[in-house]
């Protein structure tokens, strides 16, 4: 138990100039602290494996600092579940998730990319010439699995306005009762000013912000990850026009086979997470 407790401490709290601990380092520290006369890394591995303790692993995360995190996140989750302000959405209500994928580079490889062969993977030249970058602003209809997107040199209010026009000038959104736009707090659509601005463009459009640092609540990010994996990696585009054409072609191809994402995280899950974070906050304060 003492060795497991040792493994669950930060190395800096143990006075060690390390970022993480290996089995052998835990064994050495335990011996130095008098927890055992001798101890092998294999024994530490066996003990820690019993409780799935892996001190050499870590991941980045962002602590929710928005004082209205639960309230804002709950509204987004309600929309995904088909409700708004405790009332079910109607057939003339639509939910769109939107964001920008910025600084997508076009990298022209100095040697042409080679396809795979028997017993040999495809080859992509390491060196490349930068051909510029563009931004891709897109929207995903959460319940209808429809995609809308535009490419341009930068992001901002005007490019976002162009995307909104692209969506709201066509049916069924033009005649919809309400079109909810779920967006983050980027400069293109930040704060109450953005809410008022969207309403002035289209009275039936409602901007709903996710909490700060909660991009995982925005379903368009799932599509962006698919785009990154399926088209943009590895990056091999001769110029920006080709990059733009390929992005829009992928958008059309994906939409043709797309289905709504099976979003399973609900308000109940959010409450459990927030309660757990509150416990950790109290523990840290103590």
pLDDT for 233-281, tens place per residue? 999 999 999 999 999 999 999 999 999 999 999 999 999 988 888 887 7
pLDDT of residue 63: 79
Provide, rounded to the nearest whole percent, the portion of the chain with pLDDT above 70. Answer: 98
CA–CA distance, 90 with 10 (Å, rounded to integer) = 51
pLDDT in tens, 200-221: 999 999 999 999 989 899 999 9
CA–CA distance, 36 with 170 (Å, rounded to integer) = 73
CA–CA distance, 153 with 138 (Å, rounded to integer) = 14
Whether 285 has a pLDDT exceeding 70, the answer reads: no
CA–CA distance, 140 with 126 (Å, rounded to integer) = 34
pLDDT of residue 256: 97
| Pair 151, 237: CB distance under 8 Å | no
Output the pTM of the full model.
Answer: 0.86
Q: What's the CA angle centered on 232, arms 257 and 213, to 5 degrees?
A: 90
CA–CA distance, 202 with 278 (Å, rounded to integer) = 40
Q: What is the DSSP string of 253-275?
A: HHHHH---------HHHHHHHHH
pLDDT of residue 59: 85
Whether 84 has a pLDDT exceeding 70, the answer reads: yes
């Amino acid at each position: 138990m003492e060795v497991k407790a040792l493994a669950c401490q930060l190395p800096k709290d143990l006075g060690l100039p390390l970022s993480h601990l290996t089995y052998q380092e835990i064994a050495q520290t335990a011996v130095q602290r008098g927890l055992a006369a001798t101890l092998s890394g294999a024994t530490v591995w066996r003990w820690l494996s019993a409780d799935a303790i892996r001190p050499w692993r870590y991941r980045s995360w962002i602590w929710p600092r928005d004082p209205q995190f639960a309230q804002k996140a709950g509204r987004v989750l309600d929309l995904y579940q088909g409700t708004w302000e405790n009332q079910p959405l109607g057939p003339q209500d639509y939910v769109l998730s939107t964001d920008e994928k910025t600084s997508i580079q076009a990298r022209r490889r100095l040697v042409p990319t080679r396809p795979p062969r028997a017993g040999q993977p495809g080859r992509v030249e390491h060196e490349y010439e930068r051909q510029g970058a563009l931004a891709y602003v897109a929207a995903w209809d959460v319940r209808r699995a429809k995609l809308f997107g535009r490419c341009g040199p930068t992001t901002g209010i005007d490019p976002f306005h162009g995307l909104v026009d692209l969506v709201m000038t066509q049916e069924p959104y033009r005649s919809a009762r309400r079109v909810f736009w779920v967006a983050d707090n980027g400069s293109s659509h930040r704060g109450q000013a953005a809410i008022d601005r969207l309403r002035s463009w289209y009275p039936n459009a409602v901007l709903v912000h996710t909490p700060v640092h909660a991009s995982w609540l925005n379903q368009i990010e799932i599509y962006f990850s698919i785009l990154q994996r399926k088209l943009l990696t590895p990056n091999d585009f001769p110029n920006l026009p080709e990059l733009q054409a390929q992005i829009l072609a992928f958008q059309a191809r994906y939409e043709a086979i797309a289905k709504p994402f099976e979003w399973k995280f609900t308000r109940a899950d959010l409450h459990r997470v927030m309660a757990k974070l509150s416990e950790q906050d109290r523990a840290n304060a103590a």
